[in-house]
């Protein structure tokens, strides 16, 4: 197999500049998988920054990802909220999946006016994220980018007040919704800046509620798009946006106007179509099926990786990753090796090969007739 001729950061920056590097970058967004690597429970693993540092260094070396990832779990962002109303966010840990909110801390509309954004440097668990970030930067490879995470202000209310109550607020009391959104905007900026100060290279700006799976484009343009345009330039460094497996084709050009550099896209959308829209404007990140990869054989993983590269790789501007922003806990280590090996074999530029009949048979069997179209 040919040797790499670029470092991970060189490869990533070239890709973000919409040029072809030595090969397609592969971002294996492993977070809770680290607990398995260290033979710990998920709760134990995320209780101490030192565990996450060890896990990230081990996984990057073992699987050859072009990144480190400082994500503990999404609910950590709301764990520190609610002190003014005496209802701090609580976390529910499970054995084989991401920790989640045990219950929303906003239970009635008056809570929204009472709460204030927490200081990320004062809450113990957020401090562990910053310690882990600094530790990875100090102890890890200096040529590997560190990806941080911030939940967008348009999506954070799902965890703060529950999905049904948030949807009702958005449609029934837009003025009060903006009170919450503005507080979340303040939080995102402070949390993003704190992570950049700790050493992240870029922030993955998770905002799945802006996806057209959840809200119409018109509503997004009035709300989430306005927020993103205001806060992304203030976060302290480069960002890429992520729809966490939601649909985004109708709003890709709108997302490009927010100042973000890339977009994490869903497996349910055609990569060639996505790449055509994003060309020269957004780096495409995705879109391996995290649910399906738990059972992939080497042949299946190779064919699916080749399909993604074939569709979105030509011309640069493509990072191979999963479509949700987090490798599932149940994914076997062998599959991560399959993905990494496939991108090193088939992701070399120039991409001048064609999918084989065997590749097409595997892809069509897994996805019921996927349309194969290579990006121009």
Same domain, 77 and 206: yes
Same domain, 78 and 20: no
Whether residue 372 has pLDDT greater than 90: no
The predicted pLDDT at position 369 comes to 40
What's the pLDDT tens digit per position in 175-207? 999 999 999 999 999 999 999 999 999 999 999
The predicted pLDDT at position 373 comes to 52
Kindly report the CATH number assigned to the domain that includes residue 181: 3.20.20.210
Q: How many CB atoms lie within 10 A of CB 285?
A: 28
What's the pLDDT tens digit per position in 36-52? 999 999 999 999 999 99
Same domain, 218 and 248: no
Whether 149 and 204 have beta carbons less than 8 Å apart is answered as yes
Structural domain count of the chain: 2
Please indicate, yes or no, if residue 36 is contained in any of the structural domains.
no
The predicted pLDDT at position 370 comes to 44
Same domain, 222 and 270: no
Please indicate, yes or no, if residue 147 is contained in any of the structural domains.
no
The predicted pLDDT at position 75 comes to 95
What is the rounded average pLDDT for all residues in the chain?
95
Please indicate, yes or no, if residue 277 is contained in any of the structural domains.
yes
Whether residue 375 has pLDDT greater than 60: no
Whether 279 and 252 have beta carbons less than 8 Å apart is answered as no
Same domain, 116 and 255: no
Q: What is the mean pLDDT of residues 11-17?
A: 98
Same domain, 163 and 244: no
Enclosing domain of residue 265: 1-30+238-376
Please, which residues have CB within 8 angstroms of residue 276's CB and are 6 or more apart in sequence?
375, 376
Same domain, 191 and 314: no
Which residue pairs from 91-94 have beta carbons closer than 8 angstroms and sit at least 24 positions apart in sequence?
93/41, 93/42, 93/43, 94/42
Same domain, 274 and 252: yes
Window from 277-281, 316-320, 361-365 with minimum mean pLDDT: 361-365
What's the pLDDT tens digit per position in 300-355? 999 999 999 999 999 999 999 999 999 999 999 999 999 999 999 999 999 999 99
Whether 147 and 29 have beta carbons less than 8 Å apart is answered as yes
The predicted pLDDT at position 366 comes to 72
Please indicate, yes or no, if residue 228 is contained in any of the structural domains.
yes
Please, which residues have CB within 8 angstroms of residue 202's CB and are 6 or more apart in sequence?
145, 147, 148, 237, 238, 239, 240, 261
CB-neighbour burial class of residue 106 (10 A; exposed 0-12, middle 13-18, buried 19+): buried
The predicted pLDDT at position 367 comes to 60
What's the pLDDT tens digit per position in 209-243? 999 999 999 999 999 999 999 999 999 999 999 99
Whether residue 133 has pLDDT greater than 50: yes
CB-neighbour burial class of residue 5 (10 A; exposed 0-12, middle 13-18, buried 19+): exposed
Same domain, 106 and 191: yes
Q: What percent of the chain has pLDDT over 90?
A: 94
Distance, in Å, from the CA atom of 73 to the CA atom of 75, rounded to the nearest integer, reads 6
Strand order in the sheet with 202-206: 26-27, 318-322, 283-288, 262-264, 239-242, 202-206, 146-151, 68-69
Please, which residues have CB within 8 angstroms of residue 144's CB and are 6 or more apart in sequence?
7, 8, 9, 60, 66, 67, 68
Whether residue 29 has pLDDT greater than 50: yes
Same domain, 74 and 215: yes
Please, which residues have CB within 8 angstroms of residue 266's CB and are 6 or more apart in sequence?
211, 243, 245, 246, 247, 248, 286, 287, 323
Same domain, 206 and 96: yes
pLDDT band at residue 119 under the 50/70/90 scheme? very high
Same domain, 302 and 264: yes
Q: What is the mean pLDDT of residues 246-256?
A: 97
């Amino acid at each position: 197999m040919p040797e790499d001729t670029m470092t991970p950061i060189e490869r990533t920056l070239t890709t973000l500049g919409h040029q072809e590097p030595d090969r397609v970058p592969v971002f294996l967004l492993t977070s809770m998988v680290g607990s398995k690597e260290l033979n710990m429970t998920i709760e134990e693993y995320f209780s101490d920054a030192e565990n996450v540092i060890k896990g990230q260094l081990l996984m990057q070396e073992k699987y050859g990802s072009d990144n480190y990832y400082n994500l503990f779990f999404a609910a950590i962002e709301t764990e520190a909220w609610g002190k003014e109303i005496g209802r701090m966010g609580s976390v529910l840990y499970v054995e084989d999946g991401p920790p989640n909110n045990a219950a929303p801390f906003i239970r009635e509309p008056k809570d929204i006016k009472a709460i204030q954004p927490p200081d990320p440097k004062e809450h113990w668990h957020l401090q562990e994220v910053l310690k882990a970030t600094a530790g990875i930067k100090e102890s890890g490879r200096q040529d590997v980018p560190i990806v941080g995470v911030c939940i967008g202000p348009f999506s954070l209310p799902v965890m703060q007040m529950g999905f049904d109550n948030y949807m009702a607020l958005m449609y029934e009391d837009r003025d009060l919704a903006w009170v919450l959104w503005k507080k979340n905007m303040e939080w995102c900026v402070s949390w993003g800046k704190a992570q950049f100060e700790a050493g992240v290279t870029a922030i993955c700006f998770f905002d799945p509620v802006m996806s057209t799976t959840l809200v119409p484009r018109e509503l997004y343009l009035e709300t989430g798009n306005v927020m993103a345009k205001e806060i992304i330039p203030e976060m302290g460094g480069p960002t890429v946006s992520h729809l966490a497996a939601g649909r985004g084709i109708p709003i890709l050009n709108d997302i490009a106007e927010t100042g973000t550099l890339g977009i994490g896209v869903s497996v349910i959308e055609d990569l060639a179509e996505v790449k055509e829209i994003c060309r020269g404007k957004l780096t495409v990140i995705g879109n391996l099926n995290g649910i399906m990869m738990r059972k992939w054989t080497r042949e299946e993983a190779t064919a699916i990786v080749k399909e993604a590269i074939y569709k979105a790789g030509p011309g640069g501007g493509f990072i191979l990753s999963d479509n949700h922003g987090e490798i599932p806990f149940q994914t076997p280590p062998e599959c991560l090796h399959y993905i990494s090996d496939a991108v090193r074999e088939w992701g070399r530029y120039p991409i001048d090969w064609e999918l084989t009949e065997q590749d097409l048979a595997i892809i069509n069997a897994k996805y019921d007739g996927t349309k194969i179209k290579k990006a121009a």
